[in-house]
Structures are given as C-alpha cells and as structure tokens.
Amino acid sequence: MCPDAGPGSGRNTQKLIESLPSSMGQTITVTGMSCGGCEQTVVEALEGVSGVESATADRETETATVEGDADTAALVDAVEDAGYEAST
C-alpha cells in the first residue's frame, strides 16, 4: 500500500478513469502490405471511416490498429476497398 494513501485517496484515480476517452482500440489483420506506401494507404482508408480518431498500420506484423468507436465491419470494408485483405 502506498504510504501516502489515506481516507479518500482513491478519489483521484476515479476522476482520472472518468476523464479517459470512452473510445476503444481495435486491431485488425491486414495482408498484402509490402512497403511504407501500403501502410499509408491503409491508414488513410481507415481514417476515412466514421468514428475513427486515429489509425496505424504495420506491414511487418500485418496489423492495423484504430482508436475510436468505428464499426469493425466498416474498417474491414475500407481496407479491402483500398486493395488489401483484412479480417478481425
């Protein structure tokens, strides 16, 4: 236990949790990326989906990660429309 903990010491933690954004991260599998340009194309496709706050893509791990509350099927569709294979 923290030596500074006293009555009500958890209140600050609760305030911090309440202030965090309610968005969730999602990771999807993306195959077919072979260069940085491919990663950028996937990111741009994902950022065009409603509810996406930010997106990253990594060709080495064959994943794309999205922050926000976008529909998963819409994310997969966007990546596939950009010319790559995607799945959850």
6 domain-assigned: no
7 domain-assigned: no
4 domain-assigned: no
What the block records as the tokens of 88 is: 């959850």
**Residue 62 lies in domain:** 23-87
Mean pLDDT for each 10-residue chunk of the chain (88 residues)?
A: 46 41 81 98 98 98 97 98 97
- Measured between alpha carbons, how far is 36 from 58 in angstroms, rounded to an integer? 9
Read off the CATH number of the domain in which 32 is found.
3.30.70.100
What the block records as the tokens of 74 is: 């819409």
40 domain-assigned: yes
Q: How many domains does the chain have?
A: 1
pTM, 2 dp:
0.74
Q: What is the pLDDT of residue 24?
A: 77
46 domain-assigned: yes
